[in-house]
């Protein structure tokens, strides 16, 4: 192939790409509705927390969550609300990802849930809301797995164990809180 044939080949391919893009249907983005526009009783039913408490939580978690890096990235508010909805419903497949307040893919919802759960497990957040970072409230038993007392080296198996333990403990504490809210106990 000579130079002129190469140029023609490149131009034909470029024109084909342009024609293909022109015939492609335009992408449609659903517009998100603000969950804070919901009536208070519906907001609490949907997220299990009041609007002021959610706003406070968003502010508290902001330093621990990656901010949007491009115009289409999810903001901290959306990430936190998506996670709270998941905690309230237990499903991101049926509700969170398709909800008109979030409008995101299942994989995006999953990333939000992981990122916000990690932020909730920060000692500063746990301590602010009354969850001590250690396990001093639990008695030491041979069958009870507890976190390592000394801070392990970053990236080590011990550090991963402590992180997984903290995540699991947070989920259990949230479940306990949900049960307390849903099942009234008479005195």
Rounded to a whole number, what is the distance in angstroms from the first to the last CA of the chain?
A: 90
Q: Which of 29-43, 124-138, 168-182 has the highest mean pLDDT?
A: 29-43
The answer to which of 16-20, 106-110, 142-146 has the lowest mean pLDDT is 142-146
Identify the pLDDT of residue 2: 80
Instruction: Quote the CA–CA distance of 109 and 29 in Å, as a whole number.
Output: 16
Residues 6 or more apart whose CB falls under 8 angstroms from that of 166 comprise 121, 147
Average pLDDT of the segment spanning 56-78:
86
The three-class DSSP label of residue 164 is helix
Identify the pLDDT of residue 186: 43
Average pLDDT of the segment spanning 63-77:
83
pLDDT over 50 (residue 4)? yes
Nearest to 48 by CA among 78, 92, 85: 85
pLDDT over 70 (residue 58)? yes
Q: Are 84 and 48 in contact (CB under 8 A)?
A: yes
131 to 2, 140, 153: CA distances (angstroms):
73, 18, 24
Average pLDDT of the segment spanning 62-67:
90
- pLDDT per residue over 116-165, tens digit each? 988 887 878 876 765 554 454 555 555 566 777 778 888 888 888 888 87
Tokens found for residue 91: 């499903």
Residue boundaries of the structural domains of the chain: 13-120, 133-182
The number of beta carbons lying within 10 Å of the beta carbon of residue 43 is 18
For 111-114, the CB contacts below 8 A with 24+ separation are 112/74, 112/78, 112/79, 112/82, 112/83, 113/82, 113/83, 113/86
Burial track 77-94 (b if 16+ CB lie within 10 A, e otherwise): bbbbbbbbbbbbeeebee
Instruction: Quote the CA–CA distance of 131 and 110 in Å, as a whole number.
Output: 25
Identify the pLDDT of residue 106: 80
Residues 6 or more apart whose CB falls under 8 angstroms from that of 186 comprise none
Average pLDDT of the segment spanning 75-99:
77
pLDDT over 70 (residue 187)? no
């Amino acid at each position: 192939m000579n130079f002129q044939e190469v140029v023609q080949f490149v131009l034909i391919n470029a024109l084909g790409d342009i024609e293909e893009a022109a015939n492609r249907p335009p992408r449609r983005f659903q517009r998100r509705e603000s969950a804070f526009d919901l009536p208070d009783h519906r907001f609490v039913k949907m997220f299990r927390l009041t609007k002021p408490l959610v706003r406070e939580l968003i502010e508290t978690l902001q330093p621990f969550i990656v901010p949007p890096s491009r115009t289409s990235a999810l903001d901290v508010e959306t990430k936190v609300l998506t996670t709270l909805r998941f905690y309230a419903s237990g499903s991101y497949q049926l509700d969170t990802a398709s909800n008109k307040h979030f409008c995101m893919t299942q994989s995006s919802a999953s990333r939000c849930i992981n990122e916000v759960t990690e932020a909730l497990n920060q000692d500063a957040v746990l301590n602010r809301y009354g969850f001590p970072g250690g396990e001093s409230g639990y008695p030491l038993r041979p069958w009870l797995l507890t976190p390592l007392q000394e801070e392990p080296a970053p990236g080590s198996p011990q550090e991963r164990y402590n992180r997984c333990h903290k995540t699991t403990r947070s989920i259990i504490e949230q479940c306990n809180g949900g049960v307390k809210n849903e099942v009234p106990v008479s005195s």
